[in-house]
Amino acid sequence: MEKKVIKKPTETERAIAEQKAADAIKRKKKKTLIGWSAAMVAVAGMITGMIFLTQGAGDPGPAPRAAVISGGVQTVQTTVTSTGYGTINVKAGTKVSWTMNYTGRGCIAYMRIPDFGISKTLSSGANVITFTPTKKGTYTVRCTMGMYTGKIIVS
Ligand SMILES: [Cu+2]
């Protein structure tokens, strides 16, 4: 049987080992730096994406649409894009059937009409919202965060 000999490292071997350890630390630092850079690029990308998605936020959108009363219901349609929900003109005391043609993207889908207790997640295509305004006034339509808006003008 062979006898294993534990050899004491020479000065050169020790120096090599120390150099290797130092190099390993350097590599680790470099990796961390790369990691941080990647994270920063990702954050910058997300911010750019959010700015892109929120473009048109607060925009009044297309010209107001007047509802048409027929059979005791007033119907109106708007196109919901990145410019908002649109503005509708309706009369007090008659049921409103508002068709929102949704083609947008982002949080504009999470539509709220707080004054009428309406909360709906719009899906692609036609979304019908019904409510009966009883009081004249201007009511706000908005996304959950309030970035996109629309108006209901009741006269
Ligand atoms: Cu929003």
Q: Report the CATH number that the domain containing residue 107 is assigned in CATH.
A: 2.60.40.420
Mind listing the pLDDT tens digit for each residue in 47-103?
544 544 444 444 445 689 999 999 999 999 999 988 899 999 999 999 999 999 998
CA 109 from centre of chain: 9
CA of 143 to the centre of ligand 1 (A): 5
Task: Tell whether 93 and 132 lie within a shared domain.
Answer: yes
CA of 57 to the centre of ligand 1 (A): 8
Domain count for the chain, please give it: 2
**pLDDT at site 140:** 97
pLDDT more than 70, % of the chain: 79
Q: Check: pTM over 0.85? Answer yes or no.
A: no
Would you say residue 115 lies in a domain? yes
CA of 66 to the centre of ligand 1 (A): 26
> Smallest Cα–Cα separation from 81: which of 129, 143, 154?
143
pLDDT band, very low/low/confident/very high, at 18 (cuts 50, 70, 90): confident
Locate the DSSP E strands across 17-135.
65-66, 68-70, 73-80, 86-90, 95-102, 110-113, 118-121, 125-131
Tell me the residue range of the domain where 43 lies.
9-55
**Which residues are within 5 Å of ligand 1 (an ion), measured at CB?**
107, 143, 145, 147
CA of 125 to the centre of ligand 1 (A): 19
Task: Tell whether 70 and 140 lie within a shared domain.
Answer: yes
**pLDDT at site 3:** 61
Task: Tell whether 31 and 82 lie within a shared domain.
Answer: no
